[in-house]
Structure 1
């Protein structure tokens, strides 16, 4: 148990070893599962729990806490809720405080009985005596039932996954802003980006609250939260950057020659490029690039008349994450023919992009191929300038 302010404690767990989340999301720096204990003069509340693998750590922190009145569940996903049933076994008098959608999910996921719940609505308050909790519904950050909790007397926002980051560290508060900014951006790109228009509305919803501290459910506590709020405003905005995210794969070198030429041509035209060799890349780094990119270019050879499977996965990922990019193109080589462009174009219905003329060549690129790549670079640079992308 670690003290945040008077009568408010961190009782979560640090997972130094975890390297994959949901069997999908890379965790190069591990993660934390944050739970918080708020002791009022009359009642005591636990805000969220931890992943089931870390239950012994949570229960160790709670050792000596004689009475628990409320378990506030802000999000039904099991890394936050999975140990709630065990907490209720330890404190049978405690009630689960959550919203109606979360209640339904928790009953399905954890088999918690109906009579253990207190359902709260948006803006409703709960008194702990000398401390008051206000519940703020923040749907689709990143599930439909998510909410945040505001502790009025201490001006702390317990934000759940909102503003979260996957980092294992012994620091309770943010002390390395650069490292946390990168981790939070990765977290946003991988998890939050599909819901950025809704998240923008939830950011506005926080406006009336005087927030001196943000305590998320993953990552460190922001004791100076202004910069992460500003970062989120940028990430959810519709304004892209003067950046090309360029995932590619090459089997025999022809596509790589095209990728390198186009990347150099874009740089000469003052367009920033980030390359991602899909055979070796950290997919989280690609997600971070997609947060800002004004243009996406996919580089792929043709395999069995279609795109390389890794390029197809990159297209699937971009379609799922719904980034703010306005333009897209495809470059690559083929041996005898195929439908690479048509296949990839059919995989991105969620992207509201203008498709710029693809450049495909048969075998090794020729002078004509390089000329076409130069023209594509011209087109991308002109589009970025016309669109007023951030530099």
Structure 2
């Protein structure tokens, strides 16, 4: 990635990973990502803020050379994960006089993960500052956004927040600043759903700290930057709230058509009743898309056949991931079919027990759905309608 100027003596020198399609062997990145790193030059000292994934360390070194960096006084590590700190060992060899700046938990993780000597690390606390000469770095401790050692760095004079993973997006783009938010919002929402959603309360606490400062530019560790911070702050306010929409998320898998028939029928029944429905065939769908939908869904209904004595493994995997993401969904249920019995419903409900959601009576049938089974699905649709109406009524009363 080319060196680009964010503001006077502040440079973006990270790397764009145009071809990455799977992050951490877990998260789909259909539009690649970037590993953003920054140089801040004061009149007396120079700081590098974060590094890049080790696969791009050569690019980082070249960019340092391009802006004439022959020495570094500080290397600020906001987060110990490889995509942020992976090039740190090489940089410490290249710049033996540089001090690593991190919070206490990050220092410990850097030692464990990257064998960084403890005496190379200067530990900072929330609100501590470093004066580079006309450029003051303030450190904002933001635990569990999304690791326990996460920190943000605020450049006071320029009003730039180097926000680490907060406000990021896995998006490879040549644009430095967001110019068309409609293009970026979907990837930012996907990023929030996959990475930040389990830590909504911690994100809210970090956002409060951001609100206490005059932030003119937000520069996250992934994706483009915001010179209009309200764009990302406004949608984060919605995503971190408890508000849900009149929407049912319906992830499903079907082996011989019985469950698919139930899903089709329930989908139509809900649509007829004025509820938005988003079904996802788990054998084909991207889990990132499902995660995004959970941000809005008032209800999740998982549909699965029985394999031996439990849910289809793909459905169980989806339930596990949904449980880990901890969406603000208010209601959950299960539909599906079996041949001779099993513990499908209980297994899925137990897996989703971490969600603060009410369980609506499932519709679990034997074989292909009969007329009686379709009546039960209609009853489920009616129940969901009533639950949503009550939820929306309480929401309106609360806002009034």
Q: TM-score range by the shorter chain?
A: over 0.9
TM-score (norm 1): 0.98
Tell me the residue number matched to 2:69: 65
CA deviations 1:346-377 (Å, max 9, x no partner) are 21221111111111222111111111111111
CA shift at 1:197, angstroms?
Answer: 1.5
Contact 2:305–2:336 (CA<8 Å) still a contact in 1? yes
Q: Secondary structure at the match of 1:243?
A: strand
Tell me the residue number matched to 2:94: 90
Task: Give the 4+ runs in structure 1 shifted more than 2 A.
Answer: none
| Count of aligned residue pairs for this structure pair | 391
Tell me the residue number matched to 1:108: 112
* Pairing of 1:124-139 with structure 2 (within 5 A): 124-139=128-143
Tell me the residue number matched to 1:10: 12
Two-structure CA RMSD over aligned residues (Å): 1.2
In 1, the alpha carbon distance for the partners of 2:127 and 2:392 equals 39
Q: Secondary structure at the match of 1:135?
A: strand
* Pairing of 1:282-297 with structure 2 (within 5 A): 282-297=286-301
CA shift at 1:175, angstroms?
Answer: 2.3
Tell me the residue number matched to 1:24: 26
TM-score (norm 2): 0.96
Match of 2:80 among 60, 76, 81: 76
CA shift at 1:71, angstroms?
Answer: 0.3
* Pairing of 1:222-237 with structure 2 (within 5 A): 222-237=226-241
Match of 1:196 among 200, 203, 214: 200
CA shift at 1:178, angstroms?
Answer: 1.5
* Pairing of 1:312-327 with structure 2 (within 5 A): 312-327=316-331
CA shift at 1:132, angstroms?
Answer: 0.6
In 2, the alpha carbon distance for the partners of 1:227 and 1:261 equals 39
Tell me the residue number matched to 1:366: 370
* Pairing of 1:48-59 with structure 2 (within 5 A): 48-59=50-61
* Pairing of 1:211-230 with structure 2 (within 5 A): 211-230=215-234
Structure 2: any 5+ residue segments left out of the alignment? none
Contact 2:72–2:97 (CA<8 Å) still a contact in 1? yes
Does 1:347 pair with 2:351? yes
Structure 1: any 5+ residue segments left out of the alignment? none
CA shift at 1:179, angstroms?
Answer: 2.2
